[in-house]
Amino acid sequence: MVLKLIRSLAAVAILAVATPSSADEGSGFPQIVGTWHGTYLVAFAKSNPNHGKGLLKTEMELEVTKLDGNLITATNRWRRIGDKDWIVEEAMGTFSLDDPTRFVLAEAGISGEDVSAGIFNGVYLDDVIMVTYAGPGTGVAFAAQLVKKEGK
């Protein structure tokens, strides 16, 4: 019984030392905090009011504001090329536990006419974020390659 207690205390001590104290200290996940920018073509399903506009060239900024271990907090801003106002959507996500270069973000719109809710599947490779987006409620899909903005 004493041996079990000693083993348990030893295991707790090892875990306390081995566990990272923050997302920046050895979490094993890419440190992607910052603003990422890119352009893409977006298409809409026939049922979407934007379908008649055809393929639209769009720009986006994905601002990753916080990492907590595998958890990701982000804001997605996007607009059609030539538009002045941004559509703003908040997102929460997680890195994959079996492949720390892959992540998923779930977003919900907060401002603008064309806000939507959808899922980003992403991968971080060689200082580039590549995302594929699906908005099942609005019938919208796209893929984009994002690079980190200087100084952000």
Please write the tens of the pLDDT for every residue from 58-100: 999 999 999 999 999 999 999 999 999 998 999 999 999 999 9
What CA–CA distance (Å, rounded) separates 105 from 7?
40
- pTM above threshold 0.85: no
Q: Are 140 and 80 in contact (CB under 8 A)?
A: no
Degrees, nearest 5: CA angle 61-40-89: 35
Domain spans in the chain, listed from the N-terminal domain onward = 27-148
Superfamily the domain 27-148 falls into:
Calycin beta-barrel core domain (2.40.128.20)
Q: What does residue 21 show for φ and ψ, rounded to 5 degrees?
A: -90, -15
Q: Token pair of 104, please?
A: 């998923």
